[in-house]
Amino acid sequence: RIRHYRWEVKYEYKSPDCYKKLVITINGRSPGPTIIAQEGDTIIVDLENSLLTENVAIHWHGIRQIGTPWFDGTEGVTQCPILPGDTFRYEFVVDRPGTYLYHAHYGMQRESGLYGSIQVSPRDGVAEPFDYDYERSIILNDWYHKSPSEQATGLSSTDFKWIGEPQSLLIQGKGRFNCSKLTTPSLDPDACNQTKPECAPYVLTVIPGKTYRLRIGSLTSLSALTFQIEGHNMTVVEADGHYVEPFVIKNLFIYSGETYSVLVKADQDPSRNYWATTSVVSRNRTTPSGLATFNYYPNHPRRSPPTVPPPGPVWNDVESRLAQSLAIKSHQNYIHKPPQTTDRLIVFLNTQNQVDGRVRWSVNNVSFNLPHTPYLIALKENLTDAFDQTPPPTGYDFVNYDIFKRTNKTNATSSDGIYKLQFNTTVDIVLQNANDMNINNSETHPWHLHGHDFWVLGYGKGKFDIFNDPRNYNLENPIMKNTVAVHPFGWTALRFRADNPGVWAFHCHIEAHFYMGMGVVFAEGIDMLKNLPSSIMGCGHTKGFHRP
Ligand SMILES: O=C1O[C@H]([C@@H](O)CO)C(O)=C1O
């Protein structure tokens, strides 16, 4: 079946957290419309860019784009940006059931509110390994009052200006900023208005006794989050489109780019409402928790719960986050066994550095620059001067590098070189975290791979030991995902098959960190691709390739 959408993307004034600012909407909405489809459907999105002065591109997060690598929506990697006034057709197949996302993938534009969810149900007659009565999608997000261009300018200038902590957290596009905290009051009485219905808390209405599947995704710019529903347990059943061996939690840790389905039974005292909250973890909390109402029908949805909202675990409790990561295994009836050996191991040291007087993030001491000619076109058309042909390093100085020491600021370089993977081989990636430029500090980075799912083989603390740690890999029932966290001062090991012809970004999903160079690009099977659509061309070295 074909699901055809027509989307107009434009700026509008909105107040998702009561503070009025420019937000990028799809057909007037942010979050944009939920794409609801069935396994095997073809999605067509005709996108009209009405941003007037800004380019755009949309990435279909978690959709592997098998056979359509040119519609992955990653500006600079798989396509030229869509110019103001232009329309662009994305057309791809959703080949697996599950919970996915879509969002802008151009500069730091995702932060402007251009995002939404994709829900794919199984084929007719195919059951899922759990039961529920109803389902809801919830996207969690953090929210800044400054525009992405203002933030990006601060990040890329020699007079570095960090974006800081977000002003609020949004649950399904709704948050609450305390207007009395505004540092520059406005004459416009509507500039920050907490009585606006637009920023009333999101209400999740449930019928007592029923079970709900919550499809929860995070598209935060920066924050790692915990999500909890006061007095209710949650059972994790799906992660990034893969069924999980169910386990029960009180709070869900979720990193930017991840999706989970949890089951919640409305089995508490039905005479009142409850709080659903989300709070920042992994960075010292200065942002107030995001609040939603878990509303037991027939109580009034605006009736405040009689309790204090639960704050969730303390921000610096790394152990419980690591424990939850380790608890996520493949459902026993849906195990895709990984290859038991690998053809190639690449270790990625994650560091913060200074490059040419700018604060950047680096992978093996190389900070990534996005080129203006998309790699996919450059590789297919052999435009060898479009990017640096030297591949970046596949490891770092394992013997001498101390991951617990502050980064040696100056020893990094920047490059737009890429990793070429031999088609149909098995690739292992170990993400190695380290101390950044601050004393005793290592951040959480959620890494997202385009075009593939990977097996999560293991997590560890400290420095990855190439000889011993692989002996403890989970090769029996690892979960497959497209986004995974590397915890502070730890490592995460992944395995994937390089079996999807195309060019694929692999990057930290923190918007500012990717912008500051925290990413790499893989290319595989380019010679197997037939002609590229000319709609993706027209920029950089591909000027004149575009035939409208
Ligand atoms: O990239 C980052 O920069 C700041 C800080 O390290 C420099 O001020 C921070 O917290 C980041 O995550």
Residues 81-92: tens digit of each pLDDT = 999 999 999 999
* Per-residue model confidence as pLDDT tens digits over 335-361: 999 999 999 999 999 999 999 989 999
pLDDT of residue 248: 98
Expressed in angstroms and rounded, the spacing between residue 267 Cα and the centre of ligand 1 is 43
How far apart (Å, rounded) are the C-alpha atoms in residues 61 and 278?
Answer: 22
pLDDT of residue 103: 98
The pocket around ligand 1, CB under 6 angstroms, is made up of 162, 359, 436-438, 443, 512-513, 516
Within 416-461, strands assigned E span 419-421, 426-432, 445-449, 454-461
User: Which residues 6+ apart lie within 8 Å of 465 measured at CB?
Assistant: none
* Per-residue model confidence as pLDDT tens digits over 6-18: 999 999 999 999 9
Q: Are the beta carbons of 197 and 173 closer than 8 angstroms? A: no
pLDDT band at 374 (very low <50, low <70, confident <90, very high): very high
Position 548 pLDDT exceeds 60: no
Position 525 pLDDT exceeds 60: yes
Q: List the 115-121 sheet strands across, edge first.
A: 35-38, 115-121, 98-104, 58-61
Handedness of CA 121, 126, 128, 130 (dihedral sign): positive
Q: Are the beta carbons of 217 and 258 closer than 8 angstroms? A: yes
Q: Are the beta carbons of 417 and 503 closer than 8 angstroms? A: no
Q: Which amino acid residue places its CA nearest to atom 1 of ligand 1?
A: 513
Q: Which amino acid residue places its CA nearest to atom 11 of ligand 1?
A: 162
Within 462-498, strands assigned E span 480-481, 483-486, 490-497
Residue 246 class from Cβ within 10 Å (0-12 exposed, 13-18 middle, 19+ buried)? middle
Tell which one of 144, 221, 352, 437 to mutate to probe ligand 1, the residue whose CB is within 8 A of the most ligand atoms.
Answer: 352
Position 194 pLDDT exceeds 70: yes
Position 186 pLDDT exceeds 90: no
Expressed in angstroms and rounded, the spacing between residue 269 Cα and the centre of ligand 1 is 44
Measured from the Cα of 222, ligand 1's closest atom is: 12
Q: What is the mean pLDDT of the chain?
A: 97
Q: Which amino acid residue places its CA nearest to atom 5 of ligand 1?
A: 162
pLDDT of residue 276: 98
Instruction: Tell if the pTM clears 0.95, that is, is over it.
Output: yes
Q: Are the beta carbons of 484 and 493 closer than 8 angstroms? A: no
* Per-residue model confidence as pLDDT tens digits over 463-487: 999 999 999 999 999 999 999 999 9
Tell which one of 162, 441, 508 to mutate to probe ligand 1, the residue whose CB is within 8 A of the most ligand atoms.
Answer: 162
Strand partners, 494: 429, 456
User: Which residues 6+ apart lie within 8 Å of 106 measured at CB?
Assistant: 55, 56, 57, 75, 81
Expressed in angstroms and rounded, the spacing between residue 158 Cα and the centre of ligand 1 is 14
Position 536 pLDDT exceeds 90: yes
Expressed in angstroms and rounded, the spacing between residue 162 Cα and the centre of ligand 1 is 6
Expressed in angstroms and rounded, the spacing between residue 360 Cα and the centre of ligand 1 is 9
Share of the chain above pLDDT 70, in %: 100
How far apart (Å, rounded) are the C-alpha atoms in residues 160 and 151?
Answer: 10
The per-residue b/e assignment along 79-95, b for 16 or more CB within 10 angstroms, e otherwise, is bbbbebebebebebbbe
Q: Which amino acid residue places its CA nearest to atom 3 of ligand 1?
A: 162
- CA nearest 100: which of 337, 448, 334? 448
How far apart (Å, rounded) are the C-alpha atoms in residues 281 and 134?
Answer: 29
Arithmetic mean of pLDDT, 273-283:
98
Tell which one of 157, 283, 361, 436 to mutate to probe ligand 1, the residue whose CB is within 8 A of the most ligand atoms.
Answer: 436
Arithmetic mean of pLDDT, 155-166:
96
Q: Which amino acid residue places its CA nearest to atom 8 of ligand 1?
A: 162
Weakest-pLDDT range from 24-33, 51-60, 239-248, 408-417: 408-417
Q: Are the beta carbons of 326 and 474 closer than 8 angstroms? A: no
How far apart (Å, rounded) are the C-alpha atoms in residues 137 and 214?
Answer: 6
Arithmetic mean of pLDDT, 432-458:
98
Arithmetic mean of pLDDT, 363-376:
97
Arithmetic mean of pLDDT, 247-263:
98
Measured from the Cα of 516, ligand 1's closest atom is: 1
Arithmetic mean of pLDDT, 142-152:
97
* Per-residue model confidence as pLDDT tens digits over 195-230: 999 999 999 999 999 999 999 999 999 999 999 999
pLDDT of residue 422: 98
How far apart (Å, rounded) are the C-alpha atoms in residues 351 and 511?
Answer: 16
pLDDT of residue 18: 97
Expressed in angstroms and rounded, the spacing between residue 164 Cα and the centre of ligand 1 is 8
Q: Are the beta carbons of 369 and 401 closer than 8 angstroms? A: no
Expressed in angstroms and rounded, the spacing between residue 484 Cα and the centre of ligand 1 is 20
Position 408 pLDDT exceeds 70: yes
Position 547 pLDDT exceeds 70: no
pLDDT band at 311 (very low <50, low <70, confident <90, very high): confident
Expressed in angstroms and rounded, the spacing between residue 221 Cα and the centre of ligand 1 is 13
pLDDT band at 411 (very low <50, low <70, confident <90, very high): confident
pLDDT of residue 541: 95
Integer CA distances (angstroms), 425 to 3, 72, 290, 428, 521, in order: 34, 22, 44, 10, 16
Expressed in angstroms and rounded, the spacing between residue 358 Cα and the centre of ligand 1 is 12
